[in-house]
Structure 1
Amino acid sequence: MQLYRDLDSLSTEIRSGALTIGNFDGVHLGHAKIAQQVRKRADEVAGPAVVFTFDPHPVRLLRPELAPPPLTWTRRKVELLGQLGIDAVIAYPTTPELLQLTPDEFFQQIIVQKMAAKAMVEGPNFNFGKDRAGDVKTLEALCLKNGILLDIVEPLTRPGETEYVSSSRIRKLIAQGNVQLACEMLTQPYRIRGMVTHGAGRGANLGFATANLEAVDTLVPEMGVYAGMSYRGDDAYAAAINIGPNPTFGEKARKIEVHLIDFQGSLYGEPLEVSFLSRLRDVTTFPDVDALKNQLNQDIQTTIQTFQNYQSKTSC
C-alpha cells in the first residue's frame, strides 16, 4: 500500500488503472462497496486500484466554518483502504488553484493526463470541478469521450433501514456517543489518536492509572465512559475510556483518560491510538471515593468482556 502527496512523483505502476475520487472519511461499509468495485475493475484492466482524495477536505478552504470534524487522519485512511484491496492512495493537496479548475479541466489534467485512468468508480452524488459544477452525467460524458470505463455504485443501506450509510450519519452517531451503532457501519471500530500528557495523577492514586490524551485531531465522542482498546506495537489492550470531567473531585474541564488494562509501563510523551467498542455509562458524580472505585471496577470488568467478545468475532 502506497501513499502519494502529489502527482509528479507517481510511479508508472500507479497509472493506467481503476480510480475513484472522494473523501472516504471514516472508511465505512459504503466506501468498502466502492473499493470492491475499484479492485474488480483494476484486475480487469490489469492496473492498480487507486483512491484519489483531498487533503484537507475542500470545504476547509471554501467554507471553514462549515467544515465538520474529520473521522480519520490520512495515514489511518490509507491503512483502512489498504485492507479493502486498494493499492495506492493519493492525498492530493487542496489548493485554491485546484478548486478553480472547471470539471473538464480537472478531468483532463488529473484523470487523463496524470492518472491515465482506464476505469472509474463513483457514487451517484459525485461532484467535481469549480463550484462542484460537474456531476455524474458530466463524468459519464467525459469518460465516454475518452474511452474510460465508468461504474456508478449505489449508496449502501443496511437490512431493514432506508437511510444510507454515510460519513455524516456516522459522525452524528459518534457525537451522540453511539459508538456501537457507528461501529456497525464502519469497516473498523472508530479510532482516535493523541499525545499522552501528565494529568493530575488521581487515577494512579486510586489504583487505576490512566493516560491523559491531548491534541486529538478527529471527532471526539460524547462525554461518557466507554469500553474500547488501545495499541502498543503489535499488542492490543482492553481500555476503559473516560471522556469528560471528574465531577466527584469537583473538576469541570473535559478530559480524555484511557486506562490500559494489564499494561505496565510509562506512556508519557508518546502517541496513543484508542478505538471505541461501546458506551458504558454517563459521567457521574459519586458520593465518595469508595463508590467511585466500585464503579470503576465494574467498568473494567465490562470492558474486558466487551474486548474479549470483539476479539472472538474480530468485527463490530
Structure 2
Amino acid sequence: MPDIHIPESLHGACISIGNFDGVHQGHVSMLQQLIQLARQLCVPAAAVTFDPHPIAVLRPEFTPPLLTTPEERRRLLLQAGVSAVFVLPVSASLLQLTPKQFFSQVIQAGFQAGGVVEGPNFHFGHDRAGNVDTLQQLCQDAGIACHIAAPADDGSEMISSSRIRSLLCRRAVTEAVKLLGHPYRISGFVHRGAQRGRTIGFPTANLAEIHTLLPAHGVYAGTANIQGHIFPAAVSVGPNPTFGEQREKIEVHLDGFSGDLYGTRLNVDLLAEIRPLQAFSSASELVARITADVAEVRKLAATAGH
C-alpha cells in the first residue's frame, strides 16, 4: 500500500473521493448526500481529495489550471458541512493501483469506510479503469454502503469544474459564480507597481504569485476582506492598453481603503464582470470610465450583501 497515514478518527467514516476543484454546486449537492448517509450511520463525513492533481503527476502538460488552492478547497469543503477533509498525497505508486487494489487498500483497509458516495462520472484506479459500476460491486461484496448521486445541473447542462473554467476564460464571471455557489477567489501577494493609479486618484494593489486560473482580460467587480472589513474591489486583469503596456498584471482598487498592503496576501472574491479592457484617448477619459466602474462595483458589492 502507498505510504498513507489515515487517522483513526476517520476509520469507519463515509467518504467521497474527488478533486473537488472549485467546490461548486455539483460537489455541494453530492456532499449533502454524503452527510445524510453519514448521519444515518452515525459516522463522520469526510471529503477525500488529492494533492497534487493526479494529472500533474501523470501528464503534467495537460494539468488543468486550478480554480482553488488546496487551502481554499479545504475551507470550502468544510463550509459545505463535511466533518473532515483528508488529502491523499499523489504518487506514482498510488496511481499504479488497479481499481480493486485502490478499493481494498485505500477505501477498505485505509479508511475502513462505512459508506461511499460518488457522482456518476467517478473513475478510479490505474488508467481510470474503475467506474461507478465497479465501485458498487466492490462495495456490495465488502458490505459497504454505496450511493451514486445524480448529476447536478443548472437546467441546461451538468455543472463541472471544466465548464466553470471555460466560463472564466470567456470573462463570464457572473455565470461562473452561479455555478460555483460562491464568489470566485483570486489570492496573491501585494507588490509595488508603477503607482500610476495613485496619480489619477485610484490607487491599486498589484497582485503577484497567483496560483489559480485568472479570468480573461477585463474589469471585474468583487470584494476584499481586510482585517474583518469588507471593501468593494474593482479588479483589472491584463495589461493597461491606454498606456501601451504589454505586461500581464492584476490590479485591485479597494474602494474606501487607505493603508499599506505591500508584502501581504490579499484575497479578492470576484462577483461579476464589468467590461473588457479598452484603450482610452486621454487620462481624463480613463478617469471618467474608472469612476463609473467603481460606482458599478459598489452597487454589485452591496447587492451581494457587502
Q: TM-score, with normalisation over the residues of structure 2?
A: 0.97
| Post-superposition CA distance 1:118-158 (Å, at most 9, x none) | 11100111111111111111111110111100000111111
In 1, Cα distance between equivalents of 2:47 and 2:107:
12
Q: Indicate yes or no: 2:123 matched with 1:127.
A: yes
Q: Indicate yes or no: 2:215 matched with 1:218.
A: no
In 1, Cα distance between equivalents of 2:237 and 2:102:
43
Q: Indicate yes or no: 2:234 matched with 1:237.
A: no
How many residue pairs match? The answer is 304
Q: Indicate yes or no: 2:90 matched with 1:91.
A: no
Distance apart, 1:55 and its partner CA: 0.5
In 2, Cα distance between equivalents of 1:157 and 1:224:
28
In 1, Cα distance between equivalents of 2:109 and 2:283:
66
In 2, Cα distance between equivalents of 1:300 and 1:193:
20
Q: Indicate yes or no: 2:101 matched with 1:139.
A: no
Residue 16 of structure 2 contacts residue 116 of structure 2 at CA under 8 Å; is this kept in 1? Answer: yes
The structure 2 residue matched to 1:54, chosen from 50, 58, 83, is 50
Unaligned 5+ runs, structure 1: 1-5
- The 5 A counterparts of 1:2-41 are 7-8=4-5, 10=7, 12-41=8-37
What amino acid does structure 2 have at the position aligned with 1:129?
Answer: G
In 2, Cα distance between equivalents of 1:75 and 1:254:
25
In 2, Cα distance between equivalents of 1:9 and 1:101:
18
Residue 226 of structure 1 contacts residue 279 of structure 1 at CA under 8 Å; is this kept in 2? Answer: yes
Q: Indicate yes or no: 2:274 matched with 1:280.
A: yes
In 2, Cα distance between equivalents of 1:236 and 1:301:
16
1:43 corresponds to = 39
| Post-superposition CA distance 1:183-234 (Å, at most 9, x none) | 1101211111111111001011111110000111000000001111112132
The structure 2 residue matched to 1:79, chosen from 75, 80, 84, is 75
Residue 207 of structure 2 contacts residue 251 of structure 2 at CA under 8 Å; is this kept in 1? Answer: yes
What amino acid does structure 2 have at the position aligned with 1:170?
Answer: I
1:100 corresponds to = 96
Q: Indicate yes or no: 2:64 matched with 1:63.
A: no
What amino acid does structure 2 have at the position aligned with 1:223?
Answer: H
Q: Indicate yes or no: 2:249 matched with 1:252.
A: no
Runs of 4+ residues deviating >4 angstroms: none
Among all aligned residue pairs of Structure 1 and Structure 2, give the percentage whose two residues are the same amino acid: 43
What amino acid does structure 1 have at the position aligned with 2:264?
Answer: E
Distance apart, 1:7 and its partner CA: 4.1
Distance apart, 1:246 and its partner CA: 1.3
What amino acid does structure 2 have at the position aligned with 1:260?
Answer: L
What amino acid does structure 2 have at the position aligned with 1:88?
Answer: A
In 1, Cα distance between equivalents of 2:123 and 2:238:
39
What amino acid does structure 1 have at the position aligned with 2:53?
Answer: H
Residue 13 of structure 1 contacts residue 47 of structure 1 at CA under 8 Å; is this kept in 2? Answer: no
